[in-house]
Structure 1
Amino acid sequence: MAIKDDVENQEIGSHAGGVQEPLILAKKNQTYDDTRKGNPRMAYFSTFVAVCGSFAFGTCAGYSSPTQSAIRSDLSLTLAEYSVFGSILTFGAMIGAITGGPIADFIGRKGAMRTASGFCVAGWLAIYFAEGPWPLDIGRLASGYGMGAFSYVVPIFIAEIAPKELRGVMTAVNQLMICTGVSVWFIIGNVLSWRALALMGLIPCAVLLSGLFLIPESPRWLAKRGRTKDFEAALQKLRGEDADISEEAAEIEDYIETLERLPKAKVLDLFQRRYLRAVIIGVGLMVFQQFGGINGIVFYVATIFEEAGFSSSIGTITYAILQVVVTAIAAALVDRAGRKPLILVSAVGLVMGCLLTAVSFYLKVHDLAAQAVPILAVSGILLYIGSFSIGMGAVPWVVMSEIFPINVKGVAGGFATLVNWFGAWAVSYTFNYLMSWSSYGTFILYAAINAAAIFFVIGVVPETKGKTLEQIQAAINS
């Protein structure tokens, strides 16, 4: 009781200070509103540190494409052995998705990022020292685990530390850095050896691990754990020394007190009526994001260009640059245009990109308009990746980080991320089989799935722009 009373007294003193400080500053001709806003520099820096994990994610995803021929040649791997190496990444990511949420809830968001970094470091070192397929696969599995954990904890951490008016753009930086990591590895993978490229993968992990010592833990997680003093200190640090955090702190604490009365969530609890709509939104967006074909196209884009009769190196570099540029534009727009409009524009572009690519392969198969085939294929693929980057790539992760109540966020976020990674594996595994069945039919199938996404977003997905996490969850469950 003595400890509790001391915490309460400190809390009251903190709130009292929050009231007095603006009055004192007002005497110096500063307004209450200006004081209240503070300076969220620490929130920006914390986001930068966290998205080093997103960049590490991208380096893992972008590693296999430029290194395929060199690794197969140096280690005498068969195509089947290299296929295992490439695809086992997604199995590791699925495990990371399953366990990343509970780990983040148990040891904190920073602890989960440290764990993910440790797996990535171990994975890169195993790949670097590999002399055969087994160490190579073990390293790939470990780095995949880190990817899966990062894919959950980074957007969650950013959403929980960001001011509501900046949450969309700050969370969208997660996808921007993933795309940047993929693109940079695509490009430098043509210059560096595969072992040197593996060592380069240690750099973002080192930056992240160092930066975690300098940033605060998620205030919402601290509040959930009952660490009131640390919660207020972290929130004050994130909002700036001069910010009045009393209103935001009270809202978070009131919401968490309500949630604490609820029993601890399990996977089956996600299908209760109170959580079902949020689960449908989160899982549905992940399904459409992956089954629309993105990983098949990313993993085999060079092959697609080659089959269409276009230079794979020029096409791949153009693809990589476009992906980063458009994702950066999307990050700037997500808090202005809103989540829902960006996803809808993205889905329409994905349909058109798939149809253009389908037409190009149809013409090739039937020996029609041969000169138009490369132009249509390149236009279709670039339109596809540009459209994906403007909305469907980043925004589902932003929405997923916003819609789940904190008492089920670990379980629900882990489940949605698991679905995402299962979709990534399914699409990347089946892509070559589908292309063998029908090259143009493959892209017609993806076009149909992306068309279904349009109706799903219109009918089910809410707009979350400019709302606090607590307001979003109240609206979903109303």
Structure 2
Amino acid sequence: MNEYEENRPLLVNDERTEEDRSEQDAYLDKVKNGKLFIATFAAVLGPLSFGFVLGYSSPAIPELRRIQDLRLQLSVEEASWFGSVVTIGAALGGLLGGWIVERIGRKLSLMFCAIPFIFGFTTIIAAQNHWMFYVGRVLTGLASGVTSLVVPLYISEMAHERVRGTLGSCVQLMVVIGIMGAYVTGLFLDWRWLAVASSIPPTLMLLSMCFMPETPRFLLCQGKRREAEDALRFLRGPDAPAEWECARIEDAYKNEEQSFSLGDLKDPGVYKPLGIGVMMMLLQQFTGINAIMFYAETIFEQAHFKSSDVATVIVAATQVVFTAIAALIMDKAGRKVLLILSGVVMCVSEAVFGVYFKLTVMKPNNSSMTSVLTDTHGLLEDQPSADLAWLAVGSMGFFIAGFAIGWGPTPWLVMSEIFPTRVRGLGSALCVLTNWTCAFIVTKTFQNLMDALSSAGTFWMFSALCASNVVFTAFFVPETKGKTLEEIQAGFKGTRMR
């Protein structure tokens, strides 16, 4: 075979790619997104519930530490478990979600995870002892783990490439809105009524998802062509020819194995996205986001804020604003640009944060994280000047903004885009498990790092890890902006869409 004959198939494929691209644009011009937005809103009530779970402990723990009923009063150690046991439940939920999402589908999995949300908060409301608190927190954590896996998948399989980045970023946006909602509500309600308020979003999700469709890709995998076309007509509007998109998805599936085996780990279309997804989740937690949030109350006190409760609301509001900005520009700027920008901002912010702790001579002690959170007085050996305190507040604000605009929402979005259909449940489960396991490790070992490296050294270490995030993004993370899920998966294999 001569050189021309070797290159000819590639040229033909290029021509077909251009033709398909113009056909795809003509199709998308006819799409109406109204019902797609409604279905997305119904789904992201799950992450909103998840945010209320994460935010619930912040206003609830101080009240439960002071409560007069000795059956419910939490000690320092009990409060620590009340806050952290959610991560254990969420890790288990990630594994469970990976199994059920392939068995009963995306829609029913979302409806299923509303149940432990509701039962978990109900158990907390009716709590008569500490074990009921723990059971309630584990149940809500379990639901959070399932939600963090299923909702990104549901949205990515429903949305088309023009809006998938924006809609996928709404997952993290609703999480931080839920956290802020819990903080704000906690200013006015006691811990029982806060649990009642927190159970409202999952109840609404359960009811609204009854009227939403299953994803077309899952239906096609089940051989339900007619139901897939009906779902596409619902999501794309009456003017778009749903049969065309359905056939395109179906053609991509014909060239793909429908069942997973261990031998598939040799396939670059499997091991490459799996490695990228797991590493992104690991690096997200190793940015030190939990450490920054851990010191937020102390820093605000040193900056002479009168109310640390209001300060935490300000922190949460900052996350909401910049996560919303990320959602708006995700499909224009692209994933890689925001990840690199985010990593650079966090790297610089944490380096400055380390300088602040070095100058204020923060010395580690042997107290637990929870005891420091509940008793921040005496943490600093020397009271810093107001200028240095505002330096810390500024660097913390830049860090939170940087995290929210890139490494907060984007790993979850990329996770939902890169896996082939046959390993989407398993791959997503491993990513979620990695995320929550690393969250637990960072939270529980942070005080040990402080003892070993000092406060400044710990944050300089996190700064170096943020720099590694930038390098990893530049060399390994693919740009998925404007591509169909099938084109993304073909890219990992080094093939072209036909």
TM-score higher than 0.5 here? yes
1:324-376 Cα distance to aligned partner (Å, 9 max, x none):
11110100000000000000000111112211221111111175963333111
Shift of 1:33: 4.4
Residues 35 and 244 in structure 1, CA contact (< 8 A), matched pair in contact too: no
State the Cα RMSD in Å: 1.9
Residues 269 and 490 in structure 2, CA contact (< 8 A), matched pair in contact too: no
What does residue 280 of structure 1 align with?
275
What does residue 384 of structure 1 align with?
399
TM alignment of 1:313-462, pairs within 5 A: 313-365=309-361, 370-437=385-452, 438-462=454-478
What does residue 301 of structure 1 align with?
296
TM alignment of 1:102-141, pairs within 5 A: 102-141=99-138
- Counterpart of 2:53, as a letter, is C
What does residue 69 of structure 1 align with?
62
Residues 258 and 421 in structure 2, CA contact (< 8 A), matched pair in contact too: no
For 2:149, which of 152, 155, 158 is the aligned residue?
152
What does residue 287 of structure 2 align with?
292
Residues 148 and 417 in structure 1, CA contact (< 8 A), matched pair in contact too: yes
What does residue 39 of structure 2 align with?
46
Q: Closer, same or farther in 2 for the Cα pair 1:300/1:153, shift >3 Å?
A: farther
User: What is the aligned length?
Assistant: 445
SS in 1 for 2:260: coil
What does residue 13 of structure 1 align with?
none
What does residue 81 of structure 1 align with?
78
Q: Closer, same or farther in 2 for the Cα pair 1:239/1:67, shift >3 Å?
A: same
SS in 1 for 2:411: helix
- Counterpart of 2:43, as a letter, is A
Structure 2 residues not aligned, in runs of 5+: 1-24, 363-381
SS in 2 for 1:334: helix
For 2:161, which of 160, 164, 177 is the aligned residue?
164
Shift of 1:258: 2.3
Aligned equivalents of 2:433 and 2:176: distance in 1?
A: 20
1:213 aligns with 2:210: yes
SS in 1 for 2:166: helix
Aligned equivalents of 2:290 and 2:264: distance in 1?
A: 31
1:186 aligns with 2:158: no
Aligned equivalents of 2:310 and 2:202: distance in 1?
A: 30
Aligned equivalents of 1:39 and 1:443: distance in 2?
A: 47
Aligned equivalents of 1:70 and 1:239: distance in 2?
A: 48
SS in 2 for 1:130: coil
For 1:143, which of 140, 144, 148 is the aligned residue?
140
Structure 1 residues not aligned, in runs of 5+: 1-31
Shift of 1:294: 1.4
Shift of 1:248: 1.6
Aligned equivalents of 1:245 and 1:453: distance in 2?
A: 40
What does residue 20 of structure 2 align with?
none
For 1:263, which of 259, 263, 287 is the aligned residue?
259
- Counterpart of 1:234, as a letter, is A
Residues 182 and 198 in structure 2, CA contact (< 8 A), matched pair in contact too: no
Aligned equivalents of 1:221 and 1:290: distance in 2?
A: 30
Q: Closer, same or farther in 2 for the Cα pair 1:345/1:200, shift >3 Å?
A: same
Q: After superposing the two structures, state which structure 1 stretch, 248-257 or 199-208, moved more.
A: 248-257
Q: Closer, same or farther in 2 for the Cα pair 1:35/1:265, shift >3 Å?
A: closer
Residues 35 and 242 in structure 1, CA contact (< 8 A), matched pair in contact too: no
Aligned equivalents of 1:315 and 1:133: distance in 2?
A: 29
Aligned equivalents of 2:66 and 2:182: distance in 1?
A: 20
Shift of 1:310: 5.0
Residues 356 and 379 in structure 1, CA contact (< 8 A), matched pair in contact too: no
- Identity, in percent, stands at 39
1:71-90 Cα distance to aligned partner (Å, 9 max, x none):
12222221111111111100
1:389-434 Cα distance to aligned partner (Å, 9 max, x none):
0011001111111000011000001001110111111112223343
Shift of 1:436: 4.8
Aligned equivalents of 1:223 and 1:402: distance in 2?
A: 17
Aligned equivalents of 1:186 and 1:126: distance in 2?
A: 21
- Counterpart of 2:350, as a letter, is C
Shift of 1:36: 5.8
Aligned equivalents of 1:274 and 1:36: distance in 2?
A: 30
Residues 360 and 383 in structure 2, CA contact (< 8 A), matched pair in contact too: yes
Aligned equivalents of 2:142 and 2:264: distance in 1?
A: 25
> What TM-score comes out, normalization by structure 1 length?
0.89
SS in 1 for 2:360: helix
Shift of 1:41: 1.3
Aligned equivalents of 2:354 and 2:338: distance in 1?
A: 24
Aligned equivalents of 1:326 and 1:299: distance in 2?
A: 20
SS in 1 for 2:174: helix
TM alignment of 1:27-46, pairs within 5 A: 33=26, 37-46=30-39
